[in-house]
Copies of this chain bind each other. A is one copy, B any other.
Amino acid sequence: MPKTETKNRPGKRISSGSGTLNEVAKAAGVSEMTVSRVLRGKTNVSQKTRDKVQAAVKALGYVPNRLAGALASAKSMQLAVIIPSLRNIVFPEVLAGITDCLDTAGYHAVIGVSEYDLGREAELIAAMMSWRPAGIIIANAQHHRDAVTILRASPAPVVEVMELTRKPIDMCVGLDHRKAAVMTAERLLKKGYRRFAYLGCDLQRDKAAGKRFKGFSDTVLKGGGKMVAELTVDEPSGIGLGRRHMASLLAQSAKIEIVYASNDAVASGALMYCLAEGISVPRELALASFSGLEVGQSMPLPLTTIRSPRYEMGRLSAERILDRLNGKTPPRITDAGFEFIEGETT
């Protein structure tokens, strides 16, 4: 196993694994610049030279050094992507949209996970900037002031993804969480529900969920309804949260007609609780939430919820950045929209 010897060779530069432009140039009998041009697909090289160079590249198994390239051209092919969590499936879904789009353009994503900590997020951004990314995609619209300072100063385009903001740092791609929750509340009121309960994660951490909660309860009150029970739990949002905490939520009031959950994972857990406890949904208790996750739509009763275009938002974010890098002027604000899903839990 040659690996073990490879580490620390003090005082001696490692061969970087695969030769240099110079070696290829010599092998092909041309200058470094010509090789560089061929490799970057510049058109002003004759086919003959092209072939020679490509043969040499293949023969030597040459892999270009993008660190050097990025340094010389001040153009990196990496994007920084900062998300709050990998445990909540919505972020990997956004990430999937991002990587799909980037891959086709030869870019790569460097990821940072803030664990919903804005201080940590700011540190991550600072660290990421040292790679001189070609662009930055960051989840949500609330950031530490240091983070905002850095991002504003960034020469690279920035996209805030997930939430819509009136005044993004640079660009934003997302949906109006308040509007989504308002629409949900209106539909539920129209259906006759009046006594609402809320179950969710800590609203200080997940700001988008906080906006939804606010929009929802405002609308409920305005519409003659009441929030008769509320439970927010400071633990990772997920199915387990809904499953474990429904009992104590329901214990808060005997008159809950419907539970609005912070997202589909929580709502799915809540529905599982009801199924396990023999609570008839929606007859005895109704459920609604937000996300449109596969799990929620696969339940014996599909959830009444809002579908957020997660993959699409990721893809659009990456596209906006690439557009900017290609000299275009994409819209600063992109409303990715959402869709109400009339399930069977209401």
In angstroms, Cα B85 to Cα A299, docked, is 23
Q: Is the CB of A108 within 8 A of B86?
A: no
Which residues between 108 and 161 of chain A lie within 8 Å of chain B, taking CB atoms? 108-113, 124, 126-132, 150, 152-158
Q: Which residues of B contact A124 (CB under 8 A)?
A: 103
Given contacts A7-B324, A86-B95, contact A269 B298 (CB under 8 A): yes
In angstroms, Cα B86 to Cα A128, docked, is 22
What are 6 of the A-B contact pairs (CB < 8 Å)? Answer: A4-B329, A16-B74, A67-B70, A87-B93, A99-B112, A109-B110
Decide if A66 is an interface residue (CB 8 Å cutoff).
Answer: yes
In angstroms, Cα B130 to Cα A76, docked, is 12
Q: Which residues of B contact A18 (CB under 8 A)?
A: 129, 153
Q: Which residues of B contact A276 (CB under 8 A)?
A: 300-301
Q: Is the CB of A86 within 8 A of B96?
A: yes
Of the 9-residue stretches A57-65, A207-215, A216-224, A225-233, which lies at the interface with chain B? Answer: A57-65
List 8 additional contacts besides A65-B132, A295-B295; criterion CB under 8 Å: A6-B155, A7-B324, A63-B130, A66-B130, A67-B132, A109-B110, A238-B294, A240-B294
Q: Which residues of B contact A93 (CB under 8 A)?
A: 86-87
Q: Is the CB of A67 within 8 A of B61?
A: no
In angstroms, Cα B127 to Cα A108, docked, is 9
Given contacts A130-B63, A239-B294, contact A157 B111 (CB under 8 A): no
Q: Which residues of B contact A268 (CB under 8 A)?
A: 295, 298
Q: Is the CB of A110 within 8 A of B108?
A: yes
Contact with A110, one of B3, B110, B153 (Cβ below 8 angstroms): B110
Given contacts A103-B113, A108-B127, contact A87 B78 (CB under 8 A): no
- Closest-by-CB residue of B relative to A8 is B327
- Closest-by-CB residue of B relative to A296 is B239
Q: Which residues of B contact A16 (CB under 8 A)?
A: 74, 132, 155
Q: Is the CB of B89 within 8 A of A132?
A: no
- Closest-by-CB residue of B relative to A314 is B86
In the assembled complex, the CB of A266 is this many whole angstroms from the nearest CB of chain B, namely: 11
In the assembled complex, the CB of A319 is this many whole angstroms from the nearest CB of chain B, namely: 15
Decide if A170 is an interface residue (CB 8 Å cutoff).
Answer: yes
Q: Is the CB of B71 within 8 A of A68?
A: yes
Decide if A187 is an interface residue (CB 8 Å cutoff).
Answer: no
Q: Is the CB of A131 within 8 A of B8?
A: no
Q: Which residues of B contact A7 (CB under 8 A)?
A: 157, 324-325, 327
Q: Is the CB of B127 within 8 A of A1?
A: no
In the assembled complex, the CB of A92 is this many whole angstroms from the nearest CB of chain B, namely: 4
Q: Is the CB of A131 within 8 A of B108?
A: yes
- Closest-by-CB residue of B relative to A99 is B113
Which residues between 220 and 273 of chain A lie within 8 Å of chain B, taking CB atoms? 238-240, 242-243, 268-269, 272
